[in-house]
Amino acid sequence: MSGGDPASLAAMIDSTLLRPNATWVDFARHCEEATAFRFAMVAINPAPVSFCARLLRGTGVGVGAAIGFPLGQSTTECKVFETADALQNGATEIDFVINLVSLKSGDHAAVGREIEAVVRACGTAVSKVILETCFLTDDEKRLVCRMAAASGATYVKTSTGMGAAGATVADVLLMAEAAGNSLRVKASGGIRDLGKLRQLVDAGASRIGTSCGAALVEAARQGGSW
């Protein structure tokens, strides 16, 4: 059941800054905002990880690197290298996109091997497997959730936010059921108001990826129900 104080809402939010034209000033402001609101982490591309990690050291806010983002079409070896490099540069969480071409082509074994390889490279860091649910059938979603659970991943995640559609209540319900007690669910993509956020949390999401974190928390502070 959703609901709670604004601080508990903020602690669920992965605050994203994935724009290709963002500047170092933008990243500095993003980290300042994440610290002020006590978000779970900042979700960024690998290149600014070391910059943000320095700014966030000692704040309790994590640094999440988006790997194979947004298409998932780099090789497994590249994703493993990106993961190791991001962790060395200060990332504490890894969100990586599966190989959709392999999955849609029926090469499920290759998808499973890739998920295992990237999760292994994460070590003790939080790992999130991005499905990009808008392109998948329900059976494919369940299959990836089972693969992620078998790999020891921490989360399955709905979307990159760059696909044809973002998080839906139906997908979070399906993923939460498929994940069982082995995985947590992160909803991301198109989450801009408390009403939708509340529905996604009720459906089973325990992390929320959004670029509107500050506005959502402020709305909750003004009495908005979530």
Cα gap 226→223, rounded to integer Å = 9
Cis peptide before 70 (omega within 30 of 0): yes
Cα gap 41→64, rounded to integer Å = 6
The one-letter code for the residue type at 23 is: T
CATH number at residue 62: 3.20.20.70
In a domain, 1, yes or no: no
Confidence band, pLDDT 50/70/90 cuts, at residue 15: very high
Cα gap 148→131, rounded to integer Å = 10
pLDDT digits (tens, 9 = 90+) for 82-128: 999 999 999 999 999 999 999 999 999 999 999 999 999 999 999 99
Total domains in the chain come to: 1
> What pTM did the predictor assign?
0.95
pLDDT of residue 3: 59
Cα gap 118→21, rounded to integer Å = 28
Is 142 exposed, middle or buried, given 0-12, 13-18 or 19+ CB atoms closer than 10 A? middle
In a domain, 226, yes or no: no
Closest residue by Cα to residue 33 from 223, 157, 218, 182: 218
pLDDT digits (tens, 9 = 90+) for 19-77: 999 999 999 999 999 999 999 999 999 999 999 999 999 999 999 999 999 999 999 99
Where in the sequence numbering do the catalytic residues fall? 95, 157, 186
pLDDT of residue 2: 53
pLDDT digits (tens, 9 = 90+) for 160-193: 988 889 899 999 999 999 988 899 999 999 999 9
Closest residue by Cα to residue 208 from 176, 167, 165: 167
Residue 103: domain span? 6-221
